[in-house]
C-alpha cells in the first residue's frame, strides 16, 4: 500500500507551485533514503488536512507554517498520522467473524458505507491490506490473519487494564460477566439469576446493561462471557452465526400499551381511526427496528403522531403510564402494569410481534463457572 498525503494547498498558484512543492520534495529528499513509494495526494485547506489526518484518511499531513494570505511562508510542518480508534479493532474482529460487510455493519449498528470506511481507515493505519474484497464471502489476507490475533490481544489488554485501574481485578473463574439489554437487565435478569442459584448454588455475576448492538460487540470482542438479549426472526442476530450457540430462555411479545378508559378499554386504541401520539424507540435500536416493522406491516404511519423518542423501554413505559401516548413494550417489562390494569394492550394480536429471550455464548470451551451457568440454563429451558 502506498502513502496517502493531505497537503495544505494555498490559494495562490505561485506559492503552490514554486514554494510549497519545492519544500515538499526537499523535505522528502532529506528524510527518505528509499525511492519514493506510490503516493496519493489530497489538496485541501489546513483544517481539512488536519481532519483527514485525525480520521486516519491520510498517513501524513503537510502544511505551510503560516497562511499565504500574510504574504510569506517560513517553512513546512509535517505531521505523521498515528491515530487509531479502538472501535476499528472491534469492527475488524466483527468482520472477521461474519465475513460479510453488510452483516458486520448491522451487528455494529452503523451503515455499511461508514463501516467500510472504518475498515479502510484501519488498513491505512496498519499500512497493509487486511481484507481480500475480491471474493465473497470475504477472507482475511495473510496480514489480516496476523493482525486479527494482535487486535484481540490488544482489546483484552485494554479491558484488563481498565479493570485494574478501576480497582476491580476478579480472580480467574470467579465471576461470570453477562452483557444484557437494558430492558432484560431490569425485567428478566433477577428472577432468572435466582432460579439459577437455586439450582447450582451461589453465582457471582457482573451484569453490564447496554443496547443490543453493544451487547453483541461485548460478546464478539470477549468483553463478556454470555449475552442476554431479545431476538426475532425478522431482524439479524448472532443466532444466524454458528460460532455463537444460543438458548431460548423464554418467549414473549412486543405489545402496544396504553392507559385504560374507565371501562378498561384502551384510551389510545389502534383499532380506531383516530391519530394517536406515539412514544417510540430510537430508530437504530433493536426494539425500534422491530416496532417500525410492525408499523409498516400494519400501515399505521398515517395514524401515529411522533411524540417522544428514547431507546429504553422503561422510559417509554413511564410515558405511557402518564398518558402521553401509545408505546410498544416487551410484555414481560410491562407485566406488573398489565396485571394491575394500569396499562392495557392497545390493539389486537396483529399489532404485536414475537420476542425470544435468548442467552448467547461463544462455541469455544470456556471457564468452569460459565459452563455451569450455561448447562443449568440448558437443562432448565429444554
Question: Averaged over 150-160, what is the pLDDT?
Answer: 84
Average pLDDT, the chain: 78
Which of 129-133, 136-140, 262-266, 282-286 shows the lowest per-residue confidence on average (mean pLDDT)?
282-286
Whether residues 257 and 319 fall in one domain: yes
Of 118, 142, 165, the residue at which a domain comes to its end is 165
pLDDT at 157 over 70: yes
Of 80, 96, 129, the residue at which a domain comes to its end is 80
Whether residues 62 and 14 fall in one domain: yes
Whether residues 60 and 96 fall in one domain: no
Whether residues 23 and 147 fall in one domain: no
**Considering the domain boundaries, does residue 320 fall inside one?**
yes
Question: Averaged over 334-353, what is the pLDDT?
Answer: 95
Backbone dihedral angles phi then psi of residue 84, each to the nearest 5 degrees: -145, 135
Whether residues 153 and 282 fall in one domain: no
- CATH code: domain of residue 151: 1.10.10.10
- CATH code: domain of residue 221: 3.40.190.10
**Considering the domain boundaries, does residue 174 fall inside one?**
no
Using 50, 70 and 90 to split pLDDT, how confident is the model at 155?
confident
**Considering the domain boundaries, does residue 294 fall inside one?**
yes
Residue 221: domain span: 179-249+357-380
Whether residues 361 and 245 fall in one domain: yes
pLDDT at 172 over 60: no
Phi-psi domain of 71 (left: phi exceeds 0; alpha: psi -120 through 50; beta: other) = left
Q: Give the max Cα distance, the chain.
A: 87
Whether residues 333 and 370 fall in one domain: no
- Number of folded domains that form the chain: 4
pLDDT at 30 over 50: no
Residue 329 in 3-state DSSP?
Answer: strand
CB within 8 Å of 177: residues ≥ 6 apart: 205, 206, 208, 223, 224, 225, 226
Whether residues 341 and 311 fall in one domain: yes
Contact 163, 170 (CB under 8 A): yes
**Considering the domain boundaries, does residue 173 fall inside one?**
no
Of 80, 103, 120, the residue at which a domain comes to its end is 80
Contact 282, 288 (CB under 8 A): yes
Identify the pLDDT of residue 166.
61
Identify the pLDDT of residue 17.
41
**E strand segments, the chain:** 3-8, 39-44, 60-64, 76-80, 131-132, 139-140, 175-181, 204-210, 226-231, 246-258, 276-280, 304-309, 326-330, 344-345, 353-360
Q: CB under 8 Å, gap of 24 or more: what pairs does 313-318 form?
A: 313/182, 313/183, 313/187, 313/281, 313/287, 314/182, 314/183, 314/186, 316/279, 316/280, 316/281, 317/257, 317/343
Identify the pLDDT of residue 45.
54
**Considering the domain boundaries, does residue 172 fall inside one?**
no
Identify the pLDDT of residue 343.
97
pTM here?
0.58
Whether residues 363 and 232 fall in one domain: yes
The closest of 204, 321, 342, 369 to 264, measured between CA atoms, is 342
Whether residues 93 and 57 fall in one domain: no
Over the stretch 39-91, which tens digit does the pLDDT of each residue have?
444 455 544 554 444 444 444 455 544 433 333 333 434 444 456 788 889 99
d(CA 189, CA 182): 10
Whether residues 112 and 138 fall in one domain: yes
**Considering the domain boundaries, does residue 170 fall inside one?**
no
Grid cell digits, residue 160: 484488563
Identify the pLDDT of residue 220.
84
Identify the pLDDT of residue 216.
85
CA angle 100, 105, 107 (to 5 degrees): 95
Whether residues 160 and 107 fall in one domain: yes
Measured between alpha carbons, how far is residue 266 from residues 257, 269, 329, 361 in Å?
8, 5, 15, 40
**Considering the domain boundaries, does residue 69 fall inside one?**
yes
- Choice between 37 and 324, residue whose per-residue pLDDT is larger: 324
d(CA 261, CA 280): 22
**Considering the domain boundaries, does residue 171 fall inside one?**
no
Identify the H or E element spanning 144: helix 142-165
Amino acid at each position: 500500500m502506498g502513502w496517502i498525503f493531505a497537503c495544505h494547498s494555498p490559494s495562490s498558484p505561485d506559492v503552490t507551485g514554486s514554494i510549497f512543492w519545492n519544500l515538499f520534495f526537499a523535505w522528502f529528499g532529506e528524510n527518505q533514503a528509499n525511492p519514493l513509494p506510490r503516493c496519493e495526494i489530497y489538496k485541501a485547506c489546513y483544517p481539512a488536512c488536519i481532519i483527514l489526518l485525525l480520521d486516519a484518511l491520510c498517513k501524513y499531513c503537510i502544511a505551510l507554517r503560516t497562511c499565504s494570505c500574510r504574504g510569506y511562508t517560513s517553512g513546512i510542518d509535517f505531521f505523521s498520522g498515528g491515530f487509531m480508534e479502538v472501535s476499528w479493532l472491534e469492527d475488524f474482529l466483527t468482520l472477521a467473524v461474519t465475513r460479510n460487510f453488510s452483516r458486520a455493519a448491522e451487528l455494529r449498528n452503523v451503515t455499511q458505507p461508514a463501516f467500510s470506511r472504518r475498515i479502510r481507515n484501519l488498513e491505512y493505519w496498519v499500512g497493509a491490506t487486511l481484507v481480500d474484497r475480491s471474493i465473497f464471502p470475504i477472507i482475511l489476507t495473510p496480514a489480516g490473519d496476523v493482525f486479527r490475533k494482535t487486535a484481540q490481544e490488544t482489546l483484552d489488554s485494554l479491558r484488563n487494564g481498565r479493570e485494574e485501574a478501576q480497582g476491580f481485578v476478579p480472580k480467574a473463574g470467579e465471576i461470570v460477566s453477562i452483557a444484557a439489554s437494558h430492558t432484560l437487565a431490569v425485567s428478566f435478569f433477577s428472577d432468572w439469576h435466582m432460579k439459577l442459584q437455586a439450582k447450582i448454588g451461589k453465582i457471582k455475576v457482573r451484569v453490564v446493561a447496554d443496547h443490543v448492538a453493544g451487547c453483541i460487540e461485548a460478546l464478539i470482542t470477549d468483553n463478556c462471557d454470555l449475552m442476554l438479549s431479545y431476538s426475532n426472526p425478522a431482524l439479524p442476530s448472532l443466532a444466524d452465526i454458528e460460532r455463537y450457540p444460543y438458548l431460548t430462555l423464554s418467549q414473549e411479545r412486543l405489545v402496544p400499551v396504553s392507559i385504560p378508559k374507565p371501562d378498561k378499554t384502551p384510551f389510545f386504541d389502534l383499532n380506531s381511526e383516530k391519530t394517536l401520539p406515539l412514544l417510540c424507540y430510537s430508530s437504530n435500536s433493536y426494539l425500534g427496528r422491530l416496532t417500525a416493522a410492525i408499523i409498516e406491516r400494519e400501515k399505521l404511519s398515517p395514524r401515529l403522531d411522533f411524540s417522544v423518542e428514547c431507546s429504553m423501554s422503561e422510559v417509554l413505559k413511564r410515558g405511557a403510564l402518564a398518558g402521553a401516548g401509545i408505546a410498544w413494550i416487551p410484555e414481560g417489562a410491562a407485566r406488573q402494569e398489565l396485571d394491575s390494569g394500569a396499562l392495557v394492550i392497545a390493539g389486537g394480536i396483529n399489532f404485536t410481534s414475537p420476542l425470544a429471550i435468548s442467552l448467547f455464548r461463544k462455541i469455544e470451551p470456556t471457564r468452569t463457572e460459565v459452563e455451569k451457568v450455561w448447562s443449568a440454563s440448558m437443562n432448565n429451558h429444554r
